[in-house]
Amino acid sequence: AAKGEKRGTCRSFESGFDVAAQEKIKLIFDLREAIQHNRLKVHYQPFVDLESGEVVGYEALARWRHDVRGEVSPDVFIPLAEEVGLIETVGKFVLETACREAMHWPTHIRLAVNVSPLQFRNGNILATVINVLSATGLAAERLELEITEAVLMEKGPRTSAIIRNMRSFGIGISLDDFGTGYSSLSYLLNYPFTKIKIDKSFILNLEHEMNSREVIRAVISLGRSLGLTVTAEGIEREGVCEYLRGEGCAQGQGYLFGKAEPADKLSFAAKRDAA
């Protein structure tokens, strides 16, 4: 059935899996084509210092507008890219694009880039990052790489050596989506993180769920006592922002401050052009 390509053939008697699998194969094909034709884009979402309210950096987020389907969520196409061996290409494209564009920003504005656990597997992520920094001229101190716990699950000393090396160049390392995985304390102690990002699921629930509030409070105090910058993602409302500020959360990100936008739409881009 996987090879059946006759148009208009009714396949509803077959298992739903085949239909889903065919859809997926098509999407993979389209993703590969989009990459080849340079149709992936990078948008930037601000993160702010909660105390001053100032934008302190932008997170690069991959975007793919499909001809027929419209915007495909990175929660869909990033795992797909990981599954079929395209993630290194995508990851490098995002890193290069973002570092190049960040060179036009004021130098106190930082850049955060997500890195897939699979980019750590082949062992050349460090060289890739260093090469991109020197090719674009971006100072290592302005870059922070966001990794999830899945990176740390890749056992062995290599991952920790890579992360330590990145730190020694001055690159920041953020633990993304904190609270959704094992959130093991040993990770926080054994890897030289500079930032923890509390997952948006906790923040979005904050107003309704006492449990989320307790988790957030605990993570903020834990992060602070370890000397890490604690960030909350998914801040949509002023009340939530105030609560987090009051608890001592250093930074925040969310629709309250802005959604991800193309580089030419960022607030200082206009000022730069006008100047």
**Binding-residue total with ligand C2E (CB under 6 A):** 24
Checking phi first, is residue 38 left (phi over 0); if not, alpha (psi -120 to 50) or beta? left
17 membership: H or E segment, kind and range: helix 16-36
State yes or no: residue 116 binds ligand C2E (CB under 6 A): yes
Work out which of 200, 231, 232, 244 binds ligand C2E, going by CB under 6 A.
200
Binding mask 214-243 for ligand C2E (x = CB under 6 A): -------------------xxxx-------
95 binds, among Mg ion, ligand C2E, none (CB under 5 to 8 A by kind): none
Determine the Cα–Cα distance for residues 133 and 139; give it in Å rounded to an integer: 7
Q: What's the token pair of residue 81? A: 């890219």
**C-beta neighbour count of 20 within 10 angstroms:** 10
114 binds ligand C2E (CB under 6 A): yes
Nearer to ligand C2E by Cβ, of 57 and 254: the residue is 254
162 touches, from Mg ion, ligand C2E, none (C-beta below 5 to 8 Å by class):
none
Residues 6+ apart with CB under 8 A from 27: 72, 76, 77, 80
Residue pair 181/149 in contact (Cβ under 8 Å)? The answer is yes
Region from 43-51, 137-145, 177-185, 267-275 binding Mg ion, contact rule CB under 5 A? 177-185
Tokens representing 216 are 């957030």
Q: What does the binding site for ligand C2E look like in residue numbers (CB under 6 A)? A: 45, 61-62, 73-75, 78, 91, 94, 114-116, 146, 176-177, 200, 233-236, 253-255, 260
Task: Name the site residues for Mg ion (rule: CB under 5 A).
Answer: 114, 146, 176-177
